[in-house]
Amino acid sequence: MKFWVTLIFFACLLFISPIEATEPISVPPSSHHLANSSFGPGERLTYDITYFGAKAGIAVMEVMEKTRLKGREVYHIVSTAQSNDFVSLFYPVDDRVESYIDVEGFYSHFIKVKQHQGKRRREKVISFDQIQHRAVQFKNNKEKVFEVPPQVQDSLSSLYFFRVKNTIDVGRSVFINVHESEKNWLLEIRGVARERVTTPVGTFNTIKVQAKVQYEGLFMDKGDVFIWFTEDEKRIPVMMQSKIKIGSITAILSSRREGNRLSNAILSKRETSLVNRPK
């Protein structure tokens, strides 16, 4: 039943208000501005999740308003997944994940996770120091610090980074540094085929990619996940699929809209201290 984690990819699943650090953070020396024509504040992608053809729930990926974090302008990404009433009777799912992505460099600054899957509950926050190359995790009232590669991604920011930065062709792979499950991973995404995909939103020319996942983390279990991205500058993930022990799980784009939606909650004192910790 972990297919919920599998389907929404490394990006698909709490609101936080805009935060300004007391002292600005400098730009990492190796970073550079990436032009973004793929997404912006207001993008909202909703997916129907099905198993053996029956609807099991919905997932939403949304780009909130731009804000400031650690003195940097960032995208605020919110991803959620909920099971429907029937599935919730035997396996309730209610996940929410947020990521803050640097507008210029498209690396992660911060991720916050709150998950409820069956009897399992998990909460954690990770603040990324992209100058000292460290990840500070606070989970179960414990703090851990990890060394990370330059401009590392979290499990949600990875999807948006791929949409903006990488071009891919059939038979070729791109690699993304991801920090998840207290380890650093090199996520491989390989172009598989070009296909036309029909969704409730419309029919799209897409490139099908295979994400080879080595870790068991927020949005994917170990194994392969297939994703169909539109072959245009938006690179919208219109369908996602993962095989499980019995059958496969599919998430298909059911609606897409844009509009300004403001967040209205705040970070806890502990989370704020992690985000704004002096370097």
What are the sequence ranges of the domains in the chain? Answer: 3-275
Report pLDDT for 165: 78
Tokens of residue 260, six digits: 């300004």
The model's pTM is 0.82
Predicted confidence at residue 258, as pLDDT, reads: 67
Cα(180)–Cα(122) distance, integer angstroms: 14
Of the candidates 242, 114, 134, the residue with the CA atom closest to the CA atom of residue 182: 134
CA distances from 165 to 4, 48, 111, 223 (A): 27, 27, 20, 24
Contacts of 222 (CB under 8 A, 6+ apart): 213, 214, 215, 216
Instruction: Decide: 214 and 204 in contact? Cβ < 8 Å.
Output: no
CB 199 within 8 A of CB 206: no
Which pLDDT value is given to residue 6?
36
Distance CA 49, CA 58 (A): 6
Residues with pLDDT less than 50, the chain: 1-27, 29-30, 217-222, 259-268, 279
- pLDDT confidence of residue 276: 57
- Rounded Cα distance between 164 and 186, Å, is 18
Give me the pLDDT at residue 32, please: 58
pLDDT score of 248: 78
pLDDT score of 28 = 55
pLDDT, position 201? 94
Spatial distance between the Cα atoms of 174 and 143, rounded to a whole number of angstroms: 32
